[in-house]
Amino acid sequence: MGSASLTVQSARDMILQHCQRTIGKLAVESVALLESFQRVLAEPISLDYDQPPFARSMRDGFALRTEDVQSAPVALHCVGEVRAGEMTETALRSGEAMHIMTGAPVPEGANAVVMVENTDRRSDRVQVLKPVRAGENIAPKGSERRAGETVLRPGRRISTLEAAVLASAGKAAVLVYRRPVVAILATGDELVAVEAVPRAGQIRNSNSFSLYRQVLNSGGIPLILDTAGDNLTDLRRQIQRGLESDVLLVSGGVSMGKYDLVEPVFEELGVRVHFESVSMRPGKPTVFATWKDRWVFGLPGNPLSTFVAFELFVRPVLRALQGLPAADLPVVRGLLQADVVERSGRSAFLPARVSSGAGTLEISPVNWKGSADVFGAVESNGLLIVPAQATHLTRGETVEALLFEDLAYANEVRL
C-alpha cells in the first residue's frame, strides 16, 4: 500500500465494496416493539387480518341508505345506535337510520354515513339535511390493506409511522438487525480528560465525545476505551482491546509525525490497511483497514478531520452492518451565499449553514479556522462540498452540501 492519495469517491467505493460482504450475513435479534425505534427491520411484515377489518364509519353520524335521502331534507326512523368496539346484528331497512360513532362497524344494509353536523335528531326521528353519496364516510373492509399483504419490507428503519404499522400488524416483538458495537480509541500524549484543567501543552479529548454521538446517531453502540498514549505498549493493548468490537475507530496518531504509531501497530497485529490517505480537506490521513471480520479506521486527530472522515467513510459501514443502503449520502443542492477560494487541490468539505431561501436552499460557509476549529464549525449544519478541481466558487453558484444527520430537526431548514 503506497502513500498516494485516493479520491474521496474511490476511497468510498473501496469501503462500499467491502460492505458487499455483509449482505445476507448480518446478525439479527428480536426486540420488543417499544425497543425497536431507530432499529432496522430484518423481516417482512404482513397483516394478519384485513385493514380495516370491517366496514368502518369515519364519522360520528347516521348510517343510512342513500336512496332514502336523494330528496333531502328528509326524515328517517332511527332504529338504534352502534358504538366503536360493537357489532350490530340489526340490518338497516328502507327508511331507517342508525346512530353511529367514528370507528364503529357500519350495519348491514347501510351504504353511507351522514355526519352528525348535517342532521337534526328528534327522539326516534332524524332529519337528514343533505343528500349523501354512496360510500360516503365509510372505509370498506380491506380498503387499506388485505390480510397477508406485505406492509413493511426488511431494511426499513423503524420510525414513528412504522411503529403504528407494526402495532397494527400485531408485532409486539420485531426482528431487527443487530447494532454494531463501535470501540472509540483516542490517542495522544497531549490528551487529558474533560474534567481536567489542561497544563501547558495539553488539550482536552473532544473526539471521543463527538465520535460517541456520531456512532449513536448512526445506530451503533459506542464504547469509549481508555485513551492511549503515543507509545507502542499503550497502543498495542488498546488496539487489541478495540479489535474485540465490530468496528474500531482510532483517532489521532495516523499522520506523518515521529510518534504517529498507529499504523506500525496495525501492521504488527495483522490489521490489513486498504488505504491510508484520501485527497480531501479536512481528513487527508484517514486510514481504512480490516482485521478478520472487524472494521478498523484510523481517523486523523483534528476534531473536524475526525468528524468529516466519519461522515464519509464510517457511517456507510455502520449503515451496511444494520442492513441499510451503505452508499446513501444526504447531499442537497443550493445557492452559494459567498465566494469561496479553495487552493488545496483536494476535495474540500467546509462547514456551512444550509437554510431555506426563496424556493431554494441557501448554503453559507461559516467562519471556520480549519480542521482543529470546533468553535467555528459548531455554527454549521452541513458541509459545503468543493470538488477537487475547483479553486474558486462564486456567490450565486449552485453547489452541493452534505447535511448532518440531525438536520431534519433544525427548524430553520425545511426540506
How many angstroms separate the Cα of 285 from the Cα of each of 277, 298, 302, 404?
5, 8, 10, 22
Backbone angles phi, psi at 117, to 5 degrees: -60, -25
The number of residues that bind Mg ion (CB under 5 A) is: 4
Name the one range near ligand AMP by CB under 6 A: 52-60, 185-193, 273-281, 319-327: 185-193
Asked whether position 283 contacts Mg ion by CB under 5 A, the answer is no
Does residue 286 bind ligand AMP (CB under 6 A)? no
Which partner from the list Mg ion, ligand AMP, none does 205 bind, CB cut-off 5 to 8 Å by kind? ligand AMP
Please state, in angstroms and rounded to a whole number, the distance separating the CA atoms of residues 83 and 379: 54
| 61 sits near Mg ion (criterion: CB under 5 A) | no
Q: Taking CB under 5 A as the rule, does residue 300 contact Mg ion?
A: no
**DSSP state, residue 270:** T
Q: Is 203 in the site for ligand AMP (CB under 6 A)?
A: yes
Please say which residue, 255 or 290, places its beta carbon nearer to ligand AMP.
255
CA atoms within a 13 Å half-sphere pointing along the CA-CB vector of 301: 22
Closest CA relative to residue 348, chosen from 376, 377, 382, 386: 386
Question: Segment contacting ligand AMP (CB under 6 A): 6-14, 20-28, 123-131, 250-258?
Answer: 250-258
Q: Is 238 exposed, middle or buried (0-12, 13-18, 19+ CB in 10 A)?
A: buried
Binding to ligand AMP by residue 300, rule CB under 6 A? yes
Residue closer to ligand AMP (CB basis): 105 or 303: 303
- Taking residue 100's Cβ as centre, other Cβ atoms within 10 Å add up to 31
Q: How far apart are CA 157 and CA 377, in angstroms?
A: 29
Residues between 177 and 196 with contacts to Mg ion, criterion CB under 5 A: 188
The DSSP bridge pattern shows strands 347-356 and 280-281 to be parallel
Here the cell at position 216 is 449513536
Q: How far is the CB of 168 from ligand AMP (least distance, A)?
A: 46
Which single residue brings its beta carbon nearest to ligand AMP?
Answer: 301
Q: Min. distance of Cβ 392 from Mg ion in angstroms? A: 33
List contacts with Mg ion (CB under 5 A).
188, 252-253, 301
List contacts with ligand AMP (CB under 6 A).
186, 188, 190-191, 203, 205-208, 251-255, 257, 260, 300-303
